[in-house]
Structure 1
């Protein structure tokens, strides 16, 4: 394994592929005073309170299956941390269906894949500034043939250690749990995991299986977010976000 360098960063609803094509909606940016934006800030507060005994510096989000809204949830959560004045890095570890580069209008030519496969790479080359103050993004990078194998390496451990030293918060978007092992692998390397469940899409059996898969690797599940709840007082794609934290 090559040396990993680190320098200061540069500046029943239908399943949808819209986030892959266009990125996710940033309601915390476009409607910062909305009820939903406030709910994201509440989730952030709950996470901070859950970390009294153990520092919650590197967290990830996953779901049981596709189109749960996990990328929307984790990206808006990253914005709320950045708005708090923390230096935040959002890592797109969903190398099979990446969205972060589309959300922020970034190139996906260099990203996490490059950091995992190229010797002696400076991680800063894979990190981009966003228009949001304090928020940085590491795109997924070119899609590799073996994402699970790349994530399950000491090099991934070293990357997370390096960025955690430079940032106040590291927030990771990972693939759904049921179809691939990527999220299980990342869950063993982070301080906490958020499970996103979308009403009308997620099946009870799949959600239970997702929790079982996380329990199998002794992941620390810090909360479950029920997404797109019907009957919300705000319409649109987002529906509602509600968090329960242990």
Structure 2
């Protein structure tokens, strides 16, 4: 288990890609530390990691985005997936379209190559959430989702999945055991101990491999 305190993401900078815009900052160094800890946890192998939080508003999407950038800056080929189908934000963070994405691939309306967005940040690519579906849990828990992950991991060094808060809906639990590990983002002064414990128990019940928590000090 790794725990890293991040003094980051004040209200004004909440959705900034600090790892990209200010790579020499202490915040960026925190992300490099987290990246290194993940490398040791996975043994340097290709891995699919789920990034979630106990509740909403704890900084998990910004954390996932900056972590993906940090990995890409080390010449890793990274895929960042927005699986928060109910309240997607990664397209806003990276200022790209969300007309086509994960849901459209899972529904068979487009293929992965047509939906993936290639950024100018190293070898970082993004699969946004796509069209908001009426059945998010069903899509994320489907065999199509499993097949997508099994296929795409062959093309990348790491896949990071930004998922909904684990205590709010069942989506993250459905995804958890499809991944190699789960990282929980908790917010100092906002995440109650009971909520954090509840989230960890839910992930373990879903047979997820819990890699550890990231403490976000400012959100």
Q: Structure 1-normalised TM-score? A: 0.81
Distance 1:193 1:184 in 2: 10
Pick from 45, 70, 76: which aligns with 1:80?
Answer: 70
After TM superposition, give the deviation of residue 167 of structure 1 in Å.
1.2
Asked if 1:122 is matched to 2:111, the reply is yes
Asked if 1:133 is matched to 2:114, the reply is no
Q: 1:153 to 1:23 in 2, by over 3 A?
A: farther
Distance 2:27 2:138 in 1: 37
Q: Which residue of 1 aligns with 2:24?
A: 33
After TM superposition, give the deviation of residue 129 of structure 1 in Å.
1.0
Q: Which residue of 1 aligns with 2:92?
A: 102
CA shift digits 1:64-100 (9 cap, x unpaired): 0001100111110000110000111100000111111
Distance 1:105 1:129 in 2: 12
Distance 1:50 1:178 in 2: 25
Asked if 1:143 is matched to 2:126, the reply is no
Distance 1:56 1:212 in 2: 26
Output aligned runs, 1:1-246, within 5 Å: 24-52=15-43, 55=45, 57-118=47-108, 121-228=110-217, 237=219
Q: 1:193 to 1:56 in 2, by over 3 A?
A: farther
CA shift digits 1:192-215 (9 cap, x unpaired): 100000011111111110011001
CA shift digits 1:217-242 (9 cap, x unpaired): 1100111011025xxxxxxx5xxxxx
Q: After TM superposition, where is structure 1 displaced by more than 4 Å over at least 4 residues in a row?
A: none
Q: Which runs of 5+ in 1 are unaligned?
A: 1-17, 230-236, 238-246
Distance 1:144 1:23 in 2: 27
Secondary structure class of the residue paired with 2:184: strand
Secondary structure class of the residue paired with 2:169: coil
Q: 1:141 to 1:207 in 2, by over 3 A?
A: same
Distance 1:31 1:173 in 2: 22
CA shift digits 1:20-69 (9 cap, x unpaired): xx9821110111101111010000000111123x8351111000000110
* Structure of larger gyration radius: 1
Q: Which runs of 5+ in 2 are unaligned?
A: 1-10
Secondary structure class of the residue paired with 2:80: strand
Number of equivalent positions: 209
Q: Structure 2-normalised TM-score? A: 0.91
After TM superposition, give the deviation of residue 111 of structure 1 in Å.
0.3
